[in-house]
Amino acid sequence: MTAPARGRRPGDSGTREAILEAAREQFGETGYRGTTMRSVAAAAGVDPRLVTHYFGSKQALFRASVAFPVEAEERVQAAFDAMQLEDDPGRRTATIMVSLLEDHEVRGVMIGLIRAASSEPEAADLIREVLTESKLPLLAASVGGERSELRAAFVASQLVGLLMARYIVGIGPLAEASPEQLVSALTPVLDHYVRGDWIEGSST
């Protein structure tokens, strides 16, 4: 009888995604500290050595699990690009922002991120590091103008606040609002943060 081949099986391209899916669910439900490489492997139905093979450490696994899918990254970039347009940047950005939050996969990633960051300092440090290195600088560059980093941070606060109030806490009227209503409500707020003169008097 021929012995089974060791190592990575050919054609097993879905293994990494299965691990990531299990990791997102566990990080979201049990937090960073309560999630282990072994528990993720068990949930994904794979050998724990494969988790180490693909990601190396729990920190690296967490970083990968809070990254957006490729399609979502493209939509995030579209939102950044929309902010540079003079033709109603607030509405363009609000439309893309709401469409991202209404996407089950993207929302799952973000809910896991927010829950982990709000409950565990170690996870919060990792998330802050990821955002500081990637998303916020791109957002600030897209916002442009005076105090672009502060403006970008306020735009991000709208995204986080909406995610928490609508999808995690589930505040009644907000949870029941249609995507069109959300876009209409967010548009003037984002316009104010991106183009408003509320920073008057602050240093550059």
Supply the pTM of this predicted model.
0.69
Greater model confidence, 190 or 142: 190
Helix residue ranges, H only, the chain: 15-34, 37-44, 48-55, 58-65, 70-82, 89-101, 104-119, 121-133, 135-143, 148-162, 172-176, 179-195
pLDDT at 1 over 60: no
Distance from C-alpha of 40 to C-alpha of 15, rounded to nearest angstrom: 12
To the nearest whole number, what is the mean pLDDT of the chain? 81
> So what's the pLDDT on residue 162?
92
Residue (of 80, 79, 68, 113) closest to 183 by Cα position: 79
Interval 75-118: pLDDT, tens:
777 777 776 766 777 888 888 889 888 888 778 778 877 877 77
pLDDT of the residue at 38: 96
21, two tokens: 């899916």
> pLDDT tens across 41-80, in order?
999 999 999 999 999 999 899 888 877 666 767 777 777 7
